Structure 1
Amino acid sequence: MKIKSVDVIPLQIPFEDGSTGSGLMPTKWTTLEIVLVRIETENGIVGWGDGFAYSCRRAVAAAIEDMVAPLLVGREIDDIAALNLELQQRLHLHGRYGITMFAISAIDIALWDIAAKHEETSLARLLAVRPRTSLPAYASLMRYAEPDLVRSFAAKAVAEGYKTVKLHEISLDAIKAGRQGAGTETKLATDVNCNWSIEQAHEIMPHMRRLDLYWVEEPVFPPDDAEALGMLQAEYGVAIASGENACTSVEFARTAPHIKYLQPSVTKVGGVSEFLRVCDVAEGYGASVMPHAPYFGPGYWATIQLTAAREICEQFEHLYIEPEAYLDPSIPLPSGGEVEVLDRPGIGFEPDPDIIERFKI
């Protein structure tokens, strides 16, 4: 199969989440920014992908159009993982990570979508003999900051059947409120997004153990400080998670020997090809994979397929928001703390043209 065309479709979809919209992104966050990629082969197969684009949509779209797409048209789709590495090498002058890898991630997801569709099977079945058909999902709450709101949203998620809840809280009072709302039987985690100093981490981590947190995510900056993360995990007996901001398996090989949970994000790490390499790294070091997936385009669908195919992936992350629309209205949303793995060709994603037209920018 040869690549006929690569099209980039930037979109913005508003969402509601019950928070002030501040705290998680550099600016107020109220819309899902998506850089959708459509790749068509000469024999008419269409693959869909997207690269991480929150607060960097224009840069990612430009990187795909100007840096990556010109290297693809007319190329054979045979060894996608090898092509991924070729793109990394040919574009390394533009930076090994960040925007460059977000762009490559979008392309790689679309190519794997095509590969599975060509075989008339799902991506999960292409990668595994007996993939899972249902996955445990956890509610990934927004940052509310106010203890009463944290308590309320944690309780709401548990009432909906979630058995694991992740906060994005950084103050002890808010995390305590999350535990109160979730109850003692619920697995509770918090994503600190690198907001604690190492001194603050030493002050707060004993409380994380007392509150029986399932994991603490990116407690300090930088998020890839393997020695600091490993020290906190060993000293306080609470699992540490990191990796949502890491690109390629090379970065994960640094943290895998030190922490329990690796968190590759398929729209950032280098797409399906690098996600699979991270799973191999985790297996080699005895770590586990907790995929990062706070999106609702092809990255969402690809993450479900990958989690179903690789048993080392523990749970599916579901961002606890309500978008104004879903690009593919048939999106499998969690129910009772489980998400169904749809057995459809490719990653399963087929967007509604009317919704694309409505939110295209």
Structure 2
Amino acid sequence: MKIASIEAIALRIPFTVGGVPAAGVWGGAGMQAADSLLLKVSTDDGLVGWGETFGFVGVPAARAAIEQMLAPACIGRDASQINEIGLDLQRSFHVFGRSGPLFYGLSALDIALWDLCGKAAGLPVYRLLGGARRGQLPAYASLIRYADAEAIAVNVRRAIADGYRSLKLHEVDLAVIRTARAAAGPDIEITLDTNCPWTLHQAIDMARALQPLSLRWLEEPLWPPENYAGLAALRRRCAIPLATGENATTLMEFEHLLRIGAVDVVQPSPAKMGGISALRDVFALARAHNAQVMVHTFYDGPGLLAAMHATAALGDADAMIEWRYFDMAAQVLGNAVVPRDGMIALPAGPGLGLDPDPEVIRRYRIG
């Protein structure tokens, strides 16, 4: 099963979000399309595996890293040697960065190789990871930032009407967050991802103000995101559980933040930090430190499937899947994994269980 070709495929799919998105770390205000980058790995015996990088404005850089660095180093290699390929590529290119576009490309490659190995074995990836505990996973609706009280109230109610019992906000304005809680009522679970806006002292003040809102977790409250000592200090003074990890890359980063007691909920992002192989290691590390894993999945292709298979096989009974709550013009994977009543079905076919829809690729491919 030799790697014969690697193709990076960029997509731009329009979406709406029940209002006007505010500016955020993913793009500017009023964004109306989601860019994603798929990876198609073909072997000499005719199998095809699919991966995905983290997208949005990072797509061109990740694509360049794949096409100019990673792909040429992989042609002719045995696709079943997932760990060996990943480690060799990290060692070969480490001087160019241990995070960012290069690692996004490595992540997509790892996911695609797991997909290939599952297809070659005739088994779903969750079976390769030890077997799934359940065939459906609870999903939470991850809303975009609106920075507007009226818009957040409308969309909180809309997500609840769609069957979600758990929501994630990306707001930083206290009045908007309070409006969201009022719109949701006391029985809907809310988490808050702030995308690293505050100093430690600002975060302490905000955590105190947020405490009456009964958040399940407060996510990435500090700048910079690798300020693990600051997170540990905040955790000692904060009654809300802290979550972080989507911007961590190497296993040593995860080990550091867990060892110093910086986090309650760790959030590895498979399309950023090394794919399924790295996810497997982080799940094991988190168990050793009594932390919960909630995989970061702000994407909707093979990266989402990677998170689902790993969570089904390795996560605890309360682990959820993040669902990007956009009204997409088309779904990369079709409608098979769209949540129903707050639950998302785990594909049971070989590999990741689903391939990207070729018609969606044809219609929305760019570059």
Question: TM-score, normalised to structure 2's length?
Answer: 0.95
The equivalences for 1:211-290 within 5 A come to 211-257=213-259, 258=261, 259-290=263-294
Partner of 1:168: 170
Unaligned runs of 5+ in 2: none
Give the corresponding residue for 1:332.
337
Contiguous gaps of at least 5 residues in structure 1: none
Name the residue aligned to 1:311. Answer: 315
Alignment partner of 2:161 out of 140, 152, 159: 159
SS of the aligned residue for 1:256 comes to helix
CA drift of 1:186 comes to: 1.5
**Aligned-CA RMSD value:** 1.4
Aligned-pair distance for 1:239? 0.6
Give deviations 1:222-263, integer Å, cap 9, x for gaps. 112112112222212111111111112221112123211111
Matched residue, 1:22: 22
Q: Which residues of 2 match residues 1-361 of structure 1 at below 5 A?
A: 1-24=1-24, 25-28=26-29, 29-257=31-259, 258=261, 259-312=263-316, 314-361=319-366
Report the Cα distance in structure 2 between the residues aligned to 1:89 and 1:19, rounded to whole angstroms. Answer: 45
| Whole-Å separation in 1 of the counterparts to 2:170 and 2:132 | 34
CA–CA separation in structure 2 for the residues paired with 1:315 and 1:50: 20
Inter-partner Cα distance in structure 1 for 2:104 and 2:166? 28
Cα shift at 1:274: 0.9
Q: Kindly provide the CA deviation profile for residues 59-109 of structure 1, in whole angstroms up to 9, marking residues without a partner as x.
A: 111100111001111001233123212111111011111111001011111
Tell me how far apart the structure 1 counterparts of residues 180 and 162 of structure 2 sit (CA, whole Å).
Answer: 16
Question: What's the offset of the Cα at 1:207?
Answer: 2.2
Say how many residue pairs are matched. Answer: 361
Amino acid at match of 1:85: L
Percent pairwise identity: 36
CA contact (8 A) 1:140 1:319 kept: yes
Asked whether the 8 Å contact 1:48–1:349 carries over to 2, the reply is no
2:67 alignment partner AA: E
Identify if the C-alpha distance between structure 1 residues 130 and 331 changes in structure 2 by more than 3 Å, giving closer, same or farther.
closer
Amino acid at match of 1:77: A
Q: Closer, same or farther in 2 for the Cα pair 1:130/1:350, shift >3 Å?
A: closer
Conserved? CA contact 1:165–1:182, under 8 Å: no
When structure 1 is superposed on structure 2, of 107-116 and 322-331 the one drifting more is 322-331
> Is contact 1:224–1:242 with CA below 8 Å preserved after alignment?
no
| TM-aligned CA deviation for residue 26 of structure 1 | 4.0
- Equivalent residue letter for 2:291: A
> Aligned with 2:351: secondary structure?
coil
- The residue type paired with residue 110 of structure 2 is D
Contact 1:290 1:316 survives alignment (8 Å) = yes
Moved more, 191-200 or 288-297: 191-200
Give SS of 2:217's match: strand
The Cα of 1:198 is off from its aligned counterpart by 2.2
TM-score (norm 1): 0.96
**Structure 2 counterpart of 1:232, which letter?**
L
